[in-house]
């Protein structure tokens, strides 16, 4: 978890003064002795200022994402379905190896909540073990959360890994989706095998993506129902046929190829692996047009290892 430090603000003030000082030189200096080096310094300092502003904006998003995650767990502990639903954004979805679907309103979501079933397991409260904001955009953040459930005696009865997709709707930040990796207490050998298989699944997806003539092969790298969160939208395809016949086959647009820059498992659980990735879009000449970060939930569904859900910062 990262928190904004006072030094960030101080840095902005200092850079601002430097930029102002450089502008004074340009206005009052002798043009004959104030050549390109001063202009170059001004550009460098202006870029430093812009970078400092971007860092402050990033820290603001991180703080909002952490607040949203805390609000989510706090309202869960109230045992009030509508209060808990108030920490979410809609349409909402929790993809995983089990059955899931989109819910469109807080009221619809609250009707499906059964606290009595959870209480029957011995649950008394839930508590964070850790959380980390690992990817950030202007209106979205990905938070790797690790929480545990405890009984009334304070004994841990379950420990779980989930990545929370936190989004901004209007002026409010909330949980739009939860990518469920499952139990955290799995053997190390299984953890290593699952992580390796998940990265291979991501690589297979990108390889299939680069052959636009074979959308069936592309669709076969995914698990269904399949979820995609991007560009402020939440999409769900129930089957591979729905996926192929939908808008996905025409998403190449101005780019022709995708390069996987890196893929790193951030959560490896008993029900799936959340993989942080960065990829780039290339044109026909192989030149990089743009780059994006994303998180993919990889699951083993009915014996098929594939991508169950994706959340990216790409348009």
- pLDDT score of 172 more than 90: yes
Task: Please check whether residue 301 lies inside any domain of the structure.
Answer: yes
The residue segments making up the domain with residue 250 are 190-312
Whether 216 is in a domain gets the answer yes
Greater model confidence, 34 or 161? 161
What's the confidence (pLDDT) of residue 227? 98
- Radius of gyration, alpha carbons of the chain: 23
- Structure letter (DSSP) for residue 306: E
| DSSP reduced 3-state for 270 | coil
Q: Is the pLDDT of residue 93 over 90?
A: yes
Does residue 254 lie in a domain region?
yes
| Cα 315 to Cα 312: distance, rounded to the nearest angstrom | 8
Q: Are 56 and 8 spatial neighbours (Cβ–Cβ below 8 Å)?
A: yes
- For residue 161, pLDDT beyond 70: yes
- Is residue 282 a contact partner of residue 291, using CB atoms and an 8 Å limit? no
Task: Name the nearest CA neighbour of 163 among 221, 227, 248, 111.
Answer: 227
Let me know if residue 287 belongs to a domain: yes
The percent of residues above 90 in pLDDT, for the chain, comes to: 77
What b/e string do you get for 226-248 counting C-beta neighbours within 10 Å, with b at 16 or more? bbbbbeeebbbbeebeebeeeeb
Confidence (pLDDT) at 27:
31
Structural domain includes residue 231: yes
* In the predicted structure, residue 251 carries a pLDDT above the cut 60: no
User: Which distant-in-sequence residues (6+ apart) come within 8 Å of 225 by Cβ?
Assistant: 95, 100, 101, 236, 237, 238, 239
Q: Is 51 left (phi over 0), alpha (psi -120 to 50) or beta?
A: alpha
Mean pLDDT is highest, among 82-86, 244-248, 311-315, for 82-86
Rounded distance between C-alpha atoms, residue 81 and residue 150, angstroms: 19
CATH number, domain of 283, equals 3.10.450.50
Considering the domain boundaries, does residue 297 fall inside one? yes
pLDDT at 247: 63
CB count in 10 Å sphere of residue 60: 12
Give the number of domains in the chain: 1
DSSP per residue, 34-48: --HHHHHHHHHHHHH
**Helix 6-28 with 36-77: angle, nearest 10 deg:** 160
How high is the mean pLDDT of the chain? 88
The answer to whether residue 226 is domain-embedded is yes
The predicted model scores a pTM of 0.84
What is the per-residue pLDDT for 115? 97
Domain membership of residue 121 (yes or no) is: no
Q: What is the pLDDT of residues 54-74, one digit of tens each?
A: 899 999 999 999 999 999 999
Residues facing 229 on adjacent strands: 234, 311
Per-residue pLDDT, 248: 62
In this model, does residue 179 exceed pLDDT 80? yes
Residues 6 or more apart in contact with residue 206 via CB below 8 angstroms: 258, 259, 260, 279
pLDDT at position 26 over 80 = no
Query: Distance of CA 257 to CAs 59, 135, 159, 240, Å?
Result: 33, 23, 40, 22
**Range of lowest pLDDT (171-175, 242-246, 297-301):** 242-246
């Amino acid at each position: 978890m990262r928190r904004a430090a006072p030094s960030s603000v101080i840095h902005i003030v200092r850079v601002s003064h430097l930029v102002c000082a450089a502008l004074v030189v340009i206005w009052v200096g002798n043009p004959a002795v104030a050549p390109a080096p001063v202009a170059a310094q001004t550009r460098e300092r202006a870029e430093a200022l812009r970078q400092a502003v971007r860092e402050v904006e990033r820290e603001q998003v991180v703080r909002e994402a952490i607040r949203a995650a805390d609000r989510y767990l706090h309202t869960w502990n109230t045992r009030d379905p509508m209060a808990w639903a108030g920490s979410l954004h809609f349409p909402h979805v929790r993809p995983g190896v089990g059955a899931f679907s989109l819910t469109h309103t807080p009221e619809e979501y609250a009707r499906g909540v059964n606290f009595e079933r959870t209480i029957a397991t011995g649950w008394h409260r839930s508590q964070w073990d850790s959380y980390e904001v690992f990817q950030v955009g202007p209106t979205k953040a990905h938070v790797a959360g690790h929480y545990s459930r405890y009984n009334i005696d304070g004994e841990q009865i379950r420990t779980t890994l989930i990545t929370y997709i936190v989004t901004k709707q209007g002026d409010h930040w909330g949980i739009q989706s939860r990518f469920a990796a499952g139990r955290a207490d799995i053997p190390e050998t299984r953890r290593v095998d699952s992580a390796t298989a998940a990265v291979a699944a991501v690589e297979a997806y990108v390889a299939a993506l680069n052959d636009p003539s074979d959308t069936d092969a592309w669709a076969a790298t995914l698990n269904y129902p399949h979820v995609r969160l991007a560009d402020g939208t939440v999409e769900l395809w129930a089957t591979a046929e729905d996926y192929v016949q939908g808008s996905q086959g025409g998403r190449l647009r101005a780019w022709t190829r995708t390069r996987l820059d890196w893929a790193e498992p951030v959560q490896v659980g008993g029900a799936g692996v959340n993989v942080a990735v960065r990829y780039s879009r290339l044109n026909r000449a192989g030149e990089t047009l743009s780059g994006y970060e994303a998180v993919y939930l990889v699951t083993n569904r009915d014996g098929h290892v594939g991508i169950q859900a994706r959340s990216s910062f790409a348009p």
